[in-house]
Chain A
Amino acid sequence: MTIDSIRADLLAKKTSAEEIAREALKFAEAENPKTNAYLTFAPERALAAARAVDQKIAAGEDPGPLAGVPIAIKDVILTRGLRTTCASRMLETYIPPYDATAVIRIEKAGGVIIGKTNCDEFAMGSSNENSAFGPVRNPVALDRVPGGSSGGSAAVIAQGTAVLSLGSDTGGSIRQPASFCGVTGVTPTYGRVSRYGLTAFASSLDHIGPFSRAVRDSARLLQVMAGRDEMDSTSAFAPVPDYVAALDGNIRGMKIGVPKEFFDGLASDTGDVIQAAIQTLQKLGCEIREVTLPHTAYAVGCYYIICTAEASSNLARYDGVRYTRRSESASTLQEMYRKTRDEGFGAECKRRIMLGTYVLSAGYYDAYYLKAQKVRALVAQDYAQAFKQVDAIVGPVSPFPAFKLGEKVDDPTSMYLSDIYTVTGDLAGVPCMSVPAGKTADGLPVGLQVLANHFNETAMFRVADAFERA
């Protein structure tokens, strides 16, 4: 199913939005034990939204661009009255008092939210193994990880248990699971989609973005969510172009950059798929140019200073007072803070809070945090230089395809280093996405990363859409 096919069926009265929602919920609930991709289902909310769509159609009104489409939302994005856990024990019973702006816009457009998806705790991780509610299994190979942190949101698309989903990306958390599960995932320009209602992990790097099967459907979902929101002062004023109208499949003459630094440390099976993809783009009439992003090797270190520093501040709010959980064994205020946080946070959250607290602590600020902010400027300059020469950049998303559950869980540094090709896009704030590019000899999906300059999602979507059709 696609947005277009659902719309056509609804307008031809072949089915109703309520019928689609009931079927989608039934199928998703039946399939979920295989992958653990959903944490919560929302039948009441879904059926109410679906009935509203049906009423509009019956009244001859426009039911909206996402009419009747079953959508899953990553469980770090707030949904009023619907449990939002951030895949953490800390928020196991948290019921948000308001909706995220992205959620409001989706429902206003006729979208039907059917549930909340599993992820790494507070969106921290690259394998979805850091969820307090168990890992997600990759629908393509059930003994492998779906990637992370938005593993559940990628898995529901691959599994066919939602037509669209929302993820969040801070260092690759949309693109890497999209690549691992063989689906499309988009990280828009920083500020393109309001972060209001997205649980803060690293505010200067956090993005909300769509997952779908087809590139076109991600473009449509982004269209609905994008645009200034006065509830998020970092949301951008730039006008939102019609993304789908530009998708004519013709990218002849476009200049595509290939950064040589994105091929260091790349596994050969992934590299083969990416090289073939670049040849496809050449056959489509693109001019392929080598570009350089010289500070790529410093990006992971830079990223893990900035994201942990921001995380240590953002996660300070979970103190046993306002957000549901309080340790039962604490008698003093200090004990309440410390025991609540020790019991509520998992190992990866603690690691990042600790690292962030350390790099911000007296005597280390200049050497770590200030240094990282300067390196971030250099990474952003790399992209600014490259986009003077090319319309878009392509490369791999991850150095390797989906790995086995448990394979990397004991080595956090090596897990961090696998974010090498995704963190630079977040640091620079440029739009970037993963589009399925093929499979390795073992049958594991490989995504092609497509990046464009700030607010040039159109160029990014055009390349990905033409590639998808080829």
Chain B
Amino acid sequence: MKITEQEVRRVAELANLALTEDEIVHMTQDMDGILTHIDKLSELDTSNVEPMSQVLYDSEETATLRADIERKPLGNADALANAAVSGQGYFKVPLVIER
């Protein structure tokens, strides 16, 4: 086994997912399957290879900077239009700190 149920529980915590017991069992099997395939990568010697994080093309250093011109922002009403709960111009969330 590449991964245990205990590790899956820990990863679910990190990912902010409340998985059920049944989901934990299935997730462990599924992750184990793909991680076993992924193991194949260790066959390759990559000690002299530079990692590639993005497809990059030649361009001038400042090419991606736009002109420093003021632009109209989205605006409060539009930004909040899809909020789960909002009020007073803010996103509302459950109580964070007890007083």
A contact set with B: CB distance below 8 Å: 94-95, 97-98, 190-191, 204, 230, 233-234, 236-238, 295, 297-298, 300-302, 304-305, 312, 316, 319-326, 330-342, 345, 347, 350-351, 353-355, 357-358, 361, 368, 370-378, 380, 411-413, 416-417, 428-429, 454
Q: A322-B83, A358-B11 are in contact. Are A301 and B94 (CB under 8 A)?
A: no
Contact with A along B38-56 (1 / 0, CB 8 A): 1111111010011111110
B66 close to chain A: CB less than 8 A? yes
Give the residues in chain A near B15, CB-CB below 8 Å: 312, 341, 353-354, 357
* A374 touches which of B49, B74, B83, B85 (Cβ 8 Å): B49
Residue of B66, B79, B93 touching A230 (CB-CB under 8 A): B66
Are A330 and B94 also in contact (CB < 8 A) when A304-B34, A341-B18, A342-B19 are?
Answer: yes
B25 contacts chain A at the CB level, 8 A cutoff: no
Q: Judging by beta carbons under 8 Å apart, are B38 and A380 in contact? A: no
> Does chain A have a CB within 8 A of B1?
no
The answer on a CB contact under 8 Å between B82 and A324 is: yes
Complex A-B, nearest 6 residue pairs according to Cβ-Cβ distance, in ascending order: A429-B55, A373-B51, A326-B84, A338-B18, A374-B46, A377-B52
Whether A371 pairs with B41 at a CB distance below 8 angstroms is yes
Nearest Cβ on chain B to A398's Cβ, whole angstroms: 18
Contact B37 A337 (CB under 8 A): no
Determine the chain A residues whose CB is within 8 A of the CB of B39 once the complex forms. Answer: 301
CA distance A95 to B14 in the complex (A): 29
* Cross-chain contact B31 with A355 (CB below 8 angstroms): yes
Instruction: Report the minimal beta-carbon distance from A359 to chain B, rounded to whole angstroms.
Output: 8
The complex places the Cα of A377 from the Cα of B18 at a distance, in Å, of 36
Q: Mark B57-89, 1 if CB is under 8 A from A, else 0.
A: 101000110100000001000110111110000
Q: Choose one: A237, A342, A355, A372; the contact of B63 (CB below 8 Å).
A: A237
A347 to B7, CA, bound (A): 18
A194 to chain B, nearest CB (A): 13
Measured CB to CB, the nearest residue on chain B to A321 is B91
B27 touches which of A97, A230, A354 (Cβ 8 Å): A354
Interface residues of B in 16-37 (CB under 8 A from A): 16-20, 23, 26-27, 30-31, 33-37
Contacts of B95 in A (CB 8 A): 332-333
Min CB distance, B34 to chain A, in Å?
5
Given known A-B contacts A233-B64, A238-B57, A301-B40, A350 and B19 have beta carbons under 8 A apart: yes
Q: Which residues of B contact A351 (CB under 8 A)?
A: 27, 30-31
Across the two chains, which residue of chain A brings its CB closest to B48?
Answer: A374
Interface pairs (16), CB distance under 8 Å: A97-B81, A236-B57, A298-B40, A301-B41, A321-B83, A350-B19, A351-B27, A354-B12, A354-B27, A355-B31, A372-B41, A374-B46, A374-B51, A375-B46, A378-B44, A454-B57
Instruction: Tell me the complex Cα distance, A237–B66, Å.
Output: 13
Which residues of the partner chain B approach A238 to less than 8 Å between Cβ atoms? 57
Q: Give, as a whole number of angstroms, the nearest-CB distance from A199 to chain B.
A: 13
In the bound complex, CA of A95 to CA of B94 (Å): 24
Complex Cα distance A335/B17, Å?
9
Residues of chain A within 8 A of B46, CB atoms compared? 371, 374-375, 378
* Total number of residue pairs linking A and B with CB closer than 8 Å: 164
Which chain A residue lies CB-closest to B59? A237
Task: Please give, as numbers and ranges, the residues of chain A lying within 8 Å of B23 by CB-CB distance.
Answer: 350
- Which B residues touch A305, using CB under 8 A? 38, 41
Q: Are A97 and B37 in contact (CB under 8 A)?
A: no
Residues of A within 8 A of B53 (CB): 204, 373
Contacts of A377 in B (CB 8 A): 49-52
A295-B49 Cα distance, complex, nearest whole Å = 13
How far apart are B47's CB and chain A's nearest CB, in angstroms? 9
Q: A331-B94, A338-B16, A338-B18 are in contact. Are A326 and B63 (CB under 8 A)?
A: no
For the complex, give the distance between the alpha carbons of A204 and B14 in Å: 23
Q: Which residue of B lies closest to A236 (CB)?
A: B57
Distance A301 CA – B26 CA, assembled complex (angstroms): 20
A357 and B94 CA atoms in complex are apart in Å by 25
From residue B29, how far is it (CB to closest CB) to chain A in Å? Answer: 9
A300 and B36 CA atoms in complex are apart in Å by: 12
Q: Which residues of A contact B91 (CB under 8 A)?
A: 321-322
Please name all residues of chain B whose beta carbon is closer than 8 Å to the beta carbon of A237 when the two chains form the complex: 57, 59, 63
Report Cα–Cα, A377/B55, bound state, in Å: 9
Query: In the complex, what's the smallest C-beta–C-beta distance from B68 to chain A, in angstroms?
Result: 12
Q: Would you give the shortest CB distance from B30 to chain A, in whole angstroms?
A: 5
What residues on B are CB-neighbors of A338 within 8 Å? Answer: 16-18
Which residues of chain B come closer than 8 Å to A416, judged between CB atoms?
34, 37
Of A233, A304, A323, which is within 8 A of B82 by CB?
Answer: A323
- If A298-B44, A301-B41, A350-B23 touch, whether A95 touches B81 (CB-CB below 8 Å) is yes
Q: Contact at B37–A336, with CB atoms within 8 Å?
A: no
Q: A419 CB to closest chain B CB, in angstroms?
A: 12
User: Do B17 and A342 touch (CB < 8 A)?
Assistant: yes
Minimum CB–CB distance from A458 to chain B (whole Å) comes to 17
A334 / chain B contacts, CB cutoff of 8 Å: 16
